[in-house]
């Protein structure tokens, strides 16, 4: 859905910056959001969980986990930097007729 939104907005030659502010729980979610065209993501709930469970150390740990997951997923896709993330890394399901 986000890809269609970003594509249609960009086709009209407007400059929009899209951020995702819902449903981000893992580094894989971050990778998918960026691949679909988001410029960035907001991470609310995982940070609150980390804060509730471990205070500021819990928040640091959550951010460390997300960073590690994102780096691992990028490596699995053959990517070395955030700038290389694009829609081509996403699997597209095609139904057979």
- Work out how many domains the chain is built from and give that number: 1
**What residues make up the domain containing 78?**
24-82
Identify whether the C-beta of residue 20 lies closer than 8 Å to the C-beta of residue 33: yes
Residue-level length of the chain: 97
Least confident of 38-42, 78-82, 92-96: 92-96
Q: Check residue 92 and give its pLDDT.
A: 76
CA distance to 34, 36, 49, 84, per residue, from 87 (Å): 8, 6, 30, 10
pTM of the model: 0.78
Tens of pLDDT, residue by residue over 38-77, are 999 999 999 999 999 999 999 999 999 999 999 999 999 9
Strand partners, 41: 20
CA distance to 9, 70, 97, per residue, from 88 (Å): 19, 17, 24
Q: Is residue 65 part of a domain?
A: yes
Q: Is residue 13 part of a domain?
A: no
């Amino acid at each position: 859905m986000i890809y269609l939104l970003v594509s249609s907005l960009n086709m009209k030659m407007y400059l929009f910056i899209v951020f995702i502010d819902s449903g981000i729980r893992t580094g894989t979610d971050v990778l998918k959001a960026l691949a679909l065209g988001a410029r960035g993501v907001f991470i609310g709930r995982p940070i609150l969980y980390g804060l509730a469970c471990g205070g500021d150390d819990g928040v640091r740990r959550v951010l460390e986990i997300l960073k590690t997951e994102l780096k691992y997923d990028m490596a699995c896709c053959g990517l070395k930097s955030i700038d290389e993330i694009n829609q081509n890394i996403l699997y597209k399901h095609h139904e057979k007729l």
